[in-house]
Amino acid sequence: MTVLNCSATTCAYNSDELCSKGDIKVGGANAHDADHTSCESFLERREGSMGNSLGEGSTTIGIDCEAENCSYNEKCKCIAGAVNVGGNEACTSDETRCSTFTKNE
């Protein structure tokens, strides 16, 4: 499993920059850089619940990955040792990024 750090603090699954979902999906099948990826599992926190995540964050997580051009994608699973998902102030999954994306050479 991969170590995940997530700066999308507006996500309902974000608990102290850890993900409480258990597994996530990174989108961006045709991505050639991190800006064309996203966390498809992002769920915006609703007003009034900003202090509450949907569970305890975990240091490791399973990641399904559609980013076929990423060097860490092996049969649609992320094999990176650590992943950073960015998205400060994100309101939708399109405003998140897999900052660890590295294009195949």
pLDDT in tens, 42-77: 999 987 554 567 788 898 999 999 999 999 999 999
- The helix (H) or strand (E) run that includes residue 6 is strand 2-6
Domain ranges of the chain: 2-47+55-98
pLDDT in tens, 4-29: 999 999 999 999 999 999 999 999 99
pTM for the whole structure: 0.90
Q: What pairing do the DSSP bridges indicate for beta strands 2-6 and 82-86?
A: parallel
Closest Cα partner for 82 from 8, 4, 19, 1? 4
